[in-house]
Chains A and B, each alone.
Chain A
Amino acid sequence: MNVIELENVKKDYPLGATTVHALRGVSLAIKEGDFISIVGPSGSGKTTLLNIIGCIDNATEGSVKIHGKEVTTHSDRRLTDLRLHTIGFIFQTFNLIPVLSARENVEFPLLLMKKENLTNKEIRRRAEKLLEEVGLKEQMSQKPFELSGGQRQRVAIARALVTKPAIVLADEPTANLDSETGEMILKQMKELNLLEKTTFVFSTHDPDILKYANGVLKIKDGLMAS
């Protein structure tokens, strides 16, 4: 079953008097449990594509379906709720709330959807379990500025997974990490992918991490290359 479907998606940005065509008609389909890597040179449209899949940017033209439902016509509120319940994000750099501890950052999405049934204890337990899984048992109470870049990225991964989303989007998740940490994080993502059947879509420049992907989408000048 396709969890993500894009059909002839175009995205234009005005840039002064000109228009930048970031995506020129992208079509793709990603199945449940896929571990997909989007590769391409800088400015090829990788981030724009992830943003549109993640419902944080609107396509200028074309169709975007998540779990078979068209999302381009959704209101801001529905898109926000879709992000909360269905999609987990791991951003390249900006990622954590500076005034919350590692554990509180992971709890944050669950607290936003608290009314749905979880108690505070359950929320805490789930956040702590995920932090343990990403190797941050000892850093749970630390604030983001007390953590290294890799540790922050792992907190972001834990946060992205804490709601058990169907889709996790990661924009160059290992870009700011040393190779050892990057490798470790990718292994964790892969494990979760296999265990939870979570669909992972991530962009990367790094050819070494492609070995984890079960599919690679190449993008160039806003078009799928193959």
Chain B
Amino acid sequence: MLVFKIAWRNILRHKGKSIIIGSILFLGALIMTLGNATAIGMQKGVEENIVRGFTGHIILVSDQETKDNVLFTPMAKPLKILRDYDRISALLRQQDYVKDFIPMTRGGVAILGGSGMNFMLTFGCNFDDFQRVFGNPVEAVEGQLLTNGDHGLLVNEKSRQNQHKMQGYWLVPAGYELNRDNLSKEARSELPGLPQRSDLALGGFGEPNSTDLTLPIRAITRFKSLNNLMQEISIMDIESFRQIFGYYTAADVVQELPPEQEALLASGEEDLFGSADIFSSGSSSTVAELEKTIHAAPRPSAKINYDNAAYNYVSVLLKPGEDLGAAVARTRELMKGNGLPVKVLSWKQASGQVAQISDILRVVINVFVILLFFVAVIIIMNTLSMTAMERTEEFGMMRAVGARKGFITRMFLSETLTLSAIFGGAGILIGALVAWIFHPLGISSGESEILELLFGGEVFQPTLGVGGVVGGVAALGVVTLLAVLYPLFVARRITPLDAINRH
């Protein structure tokens, strides 16, 4: 109590210095809190829009993959086939930390029939599942989104504009009229003779077994968030993708014949034609029955299970609140423990530069805040050291009448921590208030891709949870302690004799 009384009165007595130190602490805490809110907001934006909207938290690929950056590789080098998806999916379904998952394919396709090199990054999936798992991240601008069993391509509206610039034609969904409202300025200037196409001939890029396939364009689409960032991504149905890249398709699997046909195929010629009965009876009943059996057999398409064929990777979404690092470790253990040939990657590893740029920008903010605090520590340290020297007589007299060094320590710390709590606390409070006010309003990234990436979406919402505030208080405490260490050392070394000599 005595310590706090003296500390508080000293703060009031040395108003000038208190205000200097307090102002630095206030500004530091304010900027740190806003920086924190920005970083957390960005993190949340990335989490919401990139992770929960496209990549998932964890990516499972073949253990044959040598590189981690499997999703957004610039040249879209083909991925290896992921084996044993049925076992992988069975295991994932049993995990309490897994919210959902979806198997996908990814590859670069060459758009045939145009001029020059013309590539497109495509993802193959069961689109209904894709929309369900990722919360409908894709919307149709024109045409109709894929549904189960549809074959076709979804082209991003930005990609369509690029195709027009490079190849001169304007893509229109098959069966739909040209929508003049969505034309780019350049395309509009070419009316009425604007060349149009409703399908694209595609060839798998970098895969020796690939074949060419002409796919109808089902819709022109956009991602609801981060469309600028993901404008080069087109989506096609999983079977078309498999066909283009020469993968084993689900339809191939379904070519399993009914037992009667299997038996027929298994029969030797002698069994079929060597028997006199066939010819001697003169009856055609056996052949007729056989034909009847064949026609009565279910059509293969009705039995297609898309999961029975090739995939490149599995995106896994975690339940809210799950720790990514821990979940990756658990999944690795799970796959390894079950002998599955799987490489487990976090979304950051799998997203390469996309995640790195966002991280780098966040690091820049953090470095700025750290530099700011470093400067603050130096200024506060200097001011407090001067204060300690100026108070030599006071400290020396206290020591002379029996105050231990510990008392001086407590008194000095109390003064600085009180200043820090009042001014730094005000900085955190006001920073939190600003974040709270701007959160619902949001800050638009405009058309800037960099800002969109930085924000993790089109709109940035500064966010500061309890963790952010606690982190801010902890950082402020660390800064205060760092700043007070040397002045405290100076104050503790003051002896009664120093006070006498000084006088």
Contacts and interface: CB of A to CB of B under 8 A. Distances in A.
Given A99-B6, A108-B398, 9 more contacts: A56-B500, A96-B397, A97-B394, A99-B9, A100-B9, A104-B5, A112-B403, A113-B402, A163-B402
Interface of A: 47, 51, 54, 56-57, 76-77, 80-81, 83-85, 89, 91-100, 104, 108-109, 111-113, 159, 163
A85 B503 CA distance: 25
Interface stretch (B139-147, B249-257, B491-499): B491-499
Given A47-B500, A111-B2, A83 B13 contact: no
A32 B393 CA distance: 31
Nearest to A163: B402
Contacts, number: 71
5 contacts: A56-B399, A77-B404, A93-B503, A97-B394, A109-B402
Given A99-B9, A99-B10, A89 B401 contact: yes
> Is chain B's binding surface mostly helix, strand, loop or mixed?
helix
A112 B405 contact: no
Contacts of B400: 54, 56, 83, 89, 91
B431 interface: no
B393 A94 contact: yes
A180 B445 CA distance: 81
A95 B6 CA distance: 16
B396 interface: yes
Interface in B458-496: 495-496
Interface string B373-405: 000000000000000000001101111111111
B407 interface: yes
B402 A85 contact: yes
Contacts of A80: 399, 402-405
Interface string B396-428: 111111111101000000000000000000000
Nearest to B11: A99
B308 to A, nearest CB: 80
A108 B394 CA distance: 13
Nearest to B407: A112
B439 to A, nearest CB: 43
A92 to B, nearest CB: 8
B6 A97 contact: yes
A207 to B, nearest CB: 25
Contact of A56 (B2, B9, B496): B496
A171 B163 CA distance: 96
A74 to B, nearest CB: 13
Given A94-B396, A99-B13, A159 B401 contact: yes
A198 to B, nearest CB: 16
A57 B393 contact: no
Name, among A51, A84, A99, A111, the residue most crowded by chain B CB atoms within 10 Å (CB to CB): A99
B2 A97 contact: no
B402 A91 contact: no
Contacts of B396: 94
B394 A98 contact: yes
Nearest to A160: B401
A114 to B, nearest CB: 8
Contacts of B5: 100, 104
A152 to B, nearest CB: 12
Nearest to A58: B497
Contacts of B2: 108, 111
Contact of A76 (B6, B10, B394, B405): B405
A81 B402 contact: yes
Nearest to A54: B400
Interface string B339-355: 00000000000000000
Given A93-B503, A100-B6, A56 B401 contact: no
B402 A56 contact: no
Contacts of A111: 2
Nearest to B503: A94
Contacts of B393: 94
B392 to A, nearest CB: 9
Nearest to A93: B503
A99 B5 CA distance: 9
Contacts of A56: 399-400, 495-497, 500
Contacts of B6: 97, 99-100
B397 A57 contact: no
A71 B401 CA distance: 17
Contacts of B405: 76-77, 80
